[in-house]
């Protein structure tokens, strides 16, 4: 049967069983479309990354004699919408069957179901053969339980795949989780090997993008684009990580430093989320490397990494399919403020925010703790509407795809789901930021002051946030300690804190 198979921009899975099929009657289609470039303002590097990776994968298939139709963003016959391109192709080329892989985003899942309903030819959906759990596996796992925790799902996954297990039921190293040893501050030592990644010329795609009129944010150095955009690139980032960074990954997972945008982080999220790499091969490579270098690498470094991919990444996907579409509207704390304009230009005197946002605008990247404890923390403390926060996170990062962005942003970072992902809000005063980074020493503000002109804004915002949410947090046991410290504040100090916090919230651009 003459068949059209759709490949979405985040379905660049070289190992998919589709490509083992007899290909005589099969044509693959890729589309660079305005529907996808315009649903939010994306970082320029994100669009360049996706388009480059899609083109490379299409060429890979063509080199292996597969039939490929590729719509570039400025092609005249490109109708810029998934449904219109598909319907047009089917009627023009006479396809008798349409096939697609199950998308990771709810919006595309719905759209593709709708398209199939409207087509008068046979249609079929296939698994994307990427994740280690089924869409609904987490939902089944927690059926009937009140509180979800990542830890139990993670243990289930460890057992299911026999990863870092001493026996069928006991973890290697005697512990499931070495999180407590993953909390070191980085002070310039140990050295972080620097020669990383590629220097690619993306000037020609950049020109096409400029011509198309797609609105973007952030910057790019057109001759120095250094994200992996092919399977070879992705494997080389993975190798680099195993050889150079794994040894300290766990220790410095939560560290922040002004000179180091990436620290010991892997930068694998884009390769993973576009499926150029599978989570299983990433985990297997890391574990094989560890077993070959057991004298040099501690299990805590490896477990810390495995937990992110086998634990958090699969958990977030499970939450997404359990909670969507309602999740997208959740705002349990009823936050209503706008996101400050400095999120779009890094123009703030708060050094931690300035550096984290600058880094994001320049690299389409920030590591987890910058996302959670700097930009996310500030957005939550200043009681920003989660829609505004989501829009920013969904656009700015090269790895941002809704299933993993929204669960991290609305759930883990903004507590907008009321505690589905996180058992308490991830908020802190300047104290934590000072403990984990060198940001405060060069800051305009004084991290030890709570009130007064030079006081660190995070301090008053923190106590004001707790104060404003007394009712909502009163039954949350994990908030007990913080709430009882709040109770001990005298009314004069609390009044000063409230006044200062209101000034910051009302005019964030002045800070
Ligand atoms: P590493 O620190 O090297 O971790 C290795 C891998 O583990 C990552 O590549 C990623 O695949 C996985 N991982 C780690 N933490 C998480 C997590 N919390 N959830 C899911 N997977 C995880 N990750 C995205 O992939 N896309 C997003 O849009 C995204 N948005 C986020 C928004 C907020 C507010 C926060 C707090 C986190 C977000 N994350 C997101 C999770 C995490 O910050 C990134 O995966 C990570 O920073 C990517 O960099 P890395 O590859 O160097 O990660
Ligand atoms: Fe950030 Fe406050 Fe430290 Fe300045 S003093 S870097 S605002 S935490």
From 258, 381, 439, 444, mutation site for ligand 2 pocket: most ligand atoms within 8 A of C-beta: 439
Instruction: Give the CA dihedral 428, 415, 392, 277, nearest 10 degrees.
Output: 100
Domains of the chain from N-terminus onward = 3-126 (3.40.50.620), 137-323 (1.25.40.80), 341-510 (1.10.579.10)
pLDDT score, position 199: 85
Residue 143, burial from CB neighbour count under 10 angstroms (0-12, 13-18, 19+): exposed
Q: Which ligand is nearest to the CA of 432?
A: 2
Please give the Cα distance from 432 to 354 (Å, whole number): 17
Ligand 1: centre distance to CA 269 (Å): 6
pLDDT score, position 433: 97
Residue 11 and residue 31 in contact, taking contact as beta carbons nearer than 8 Å: no
179-207: pLDDT as tens digits: 877 689 999 999 998 766 678 999 999 99
Q: Whose CA is nearest to atom 7 of ligand 2?
A: 350
Q: Which segment of 178-192, 212-226, 255-269, 450-464 scores lowest on mean pLDDT? A: 178-192
Closest CA to 369 of 491, 253, 497: 253
472-476's contacts with Cβ under 8 Å and 24+ in sequence apart are 472/332, 472/333, 476/419, 476/423, 476/424
Q: Whose CA is nearest to atom 30 of ligand 1?
A: 405
Average the pLDDT over 117-123 and give the result.
Answer: 98
Ligand 1: centre distance to CA 389 (Å): 16
Q: Whose CA is nearest to atom 2 of ligand 1?
A: 265
Please give the Cα distance from 111 to 125 (Å, whole number): 13
Residue 370 and residue 403 in contact, taking contact as beta carbons nearer than 8 Å: no
pLDDT score, position 27: 97
Judged against a pLDDT cut of 70, whether residue 116 lies above it is answered with yes
364-386: pLDDT as tens digits: 999 999 999 999 999 999 999 99
ipTM: 0.99
pLDDT score, position 47: 98
Judged against a pLDDT cut of 90, whether residue 313 lies above it is answered with yes
Q: Whose CA is nearest to atom 2 of ligand 2?
A: 456
From 340, 377, 381, 445, mutation site for ligand 2 pocket: most ligand atoms within 8 A of C-beta: 445
Q: Which ligand is nearest to the CA of 445?
A: 2
pLDDT score, position 198: 75
Please give the Cα distance from 453 to 430 (Å, whole number): 15
12-43: pLDDT as tens digits: 999 999 999 777 899 999 999 999 999 999 99
pLDDT score, position 378: 98
Pocket of ligand 2 (CB under 6 A): 350-352, 430, 433-434, 439-440, 443, 445, 447, 456-458
Ligand 1: centre distance to CA 310 (Å): 12
Residues in the chain: 511
- Counting DSSP H helices and E strands in the chain, the numbers are 23, 7
Ligand 2: centre distance to CA 81 (Å): 45
- DSSP line for 103-170: PSSHHHHHHHHHHHHH-SSEEEEE--S--SS-TTHHHHHTTT-S---HHHHHHHHHHHHTTTBSSSSS
Atom nearest to 272 CA in ligand 1:
11
Please give the Cα distance from 153 to 142 (Å, whole number): 9
263-304: pLDDT as tens digits: 999 999 999 999 999 999 999 999 999 999 999 999 999 999
- Cα dist. 314→132, 201, 470, 511 in Å? 7, 34, 33, 38
What's the pLDDT band for 222 if we cut at 50, 70, 90?
A: confident
Average the pLDDT over 128-140 and give the result.
Answer: 96
Q: Whose CA is nearest to atom 3 of ligand 2?
A: 440
- Cα dist. 149→142, 273, 319, 380, 419 in Å? 9, 23, 11, 22, 10
433-454: pLDDT as tens digits: 999 999 999 999 999 999 899 9
389-416: pLDDT as tens digits: 999 999 999 999 999 999 999 999 999 9
Average the pLDDT over 317-327 and give the result.
Answer: 97
Rg value, the chain, Cα: 24
């Amino acid at each position: 049967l003459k068949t059209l198979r759709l490949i979405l921009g985040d379905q660049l899975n070289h190992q998919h069983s589709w490509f083992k099929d007899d290909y005589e009657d099969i044509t693959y289609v890729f589309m660079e479309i305005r529907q996808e470039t315009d649903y939010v303002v994306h970082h320029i590097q994100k669009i360049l990354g996706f388009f480059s990776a899609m083109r490379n994968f299409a060429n890979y298939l063509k080199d292996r004699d597969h039939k490929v139709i590729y719509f570039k963003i400025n092609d005249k016959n490109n109708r810029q919408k998934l449904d219109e391109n598909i319907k047009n192709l089917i009627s023009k080329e006479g396809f008798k069957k349409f096939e697609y892989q199950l998308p990771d985003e709810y919006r595309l899942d719905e759209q593709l179901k709708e398209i199939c309903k409207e087509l008068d030819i046979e249609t079929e959906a296939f698994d994307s053969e990427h994740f280690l759990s089924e869409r609904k596996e987490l939902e089944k796992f927690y059926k009937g339980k009140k509180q979800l925790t990542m830890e139990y799902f993670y243990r289930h996954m460890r057992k299911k795949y026999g990863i870092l297990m001493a026996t069928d039921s006991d973890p290697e190293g005697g512990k499931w989780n070495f999180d407590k040893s993953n909390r070191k501050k980085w002070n310039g030592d140990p050295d972080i090997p620097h020669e990383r990644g590629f220097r690619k010329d993306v000037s020609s795609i950049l020109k096409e993008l400029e011509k198309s009129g797609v609105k973007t944010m952030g910057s790019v150095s057109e001759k120095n684009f250094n994200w992996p955009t092919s399977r070879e690139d992705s494997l080389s980032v993975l190798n680099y990580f195993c050889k150079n960074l794994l040894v300290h990954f766990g220790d410095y997972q939560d560290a922040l430093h002004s000179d180091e945008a990436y620290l010991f982080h892997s930068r694998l999220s884009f390769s993973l989320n576009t499926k150029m790499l599978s989570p299983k091969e990433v985990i297997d490579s890391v574990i094989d490397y560890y077993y070959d270098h057991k004298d040099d690498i501690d299990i805590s470094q490896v477990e810390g990494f495995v937990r992110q991919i086998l634990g958090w990444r699969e958990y977030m996907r499970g939450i997404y399919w359990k909670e969507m579409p309602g999740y997208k509207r959740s705002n349990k704390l009823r936050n209503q403020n706008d996101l400050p304009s400095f999120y779009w230009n890094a123009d703030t005197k708060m050094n931690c925010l300035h550096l984290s946002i600058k880094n994001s605008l320049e690299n389409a990247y920030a590591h987890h703790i910058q996302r959670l404890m700097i930009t996310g923390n500030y957005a939550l403390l200043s009681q920003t509407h989660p829609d505004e926060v989501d829009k920013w996170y969904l656009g700015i990062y090269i790895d941002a795809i809704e299933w993993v962005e929204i669960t991290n942003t609305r759930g883990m970072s903004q507590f907008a789901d009321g505690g589905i992902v996180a058992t308490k809000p991830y908020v802190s005063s300047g104290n934590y930021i000072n403990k984990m980074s060198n940001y405060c020493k060069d800051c305009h503000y004084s991290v030890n002051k709570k009130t007064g002109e030079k006081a660190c804004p995070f301090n008053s915002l923190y106590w004001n946030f707790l104060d404003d949410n007394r009712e909502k947090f009163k039954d949350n046991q994990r908030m007990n300690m913080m709430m009882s410290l709040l109770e001990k504040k005298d009314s004069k100090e609390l009044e000063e804190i409230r006044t200062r916090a209101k000034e910051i919230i009302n005019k964030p651009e002045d800070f």
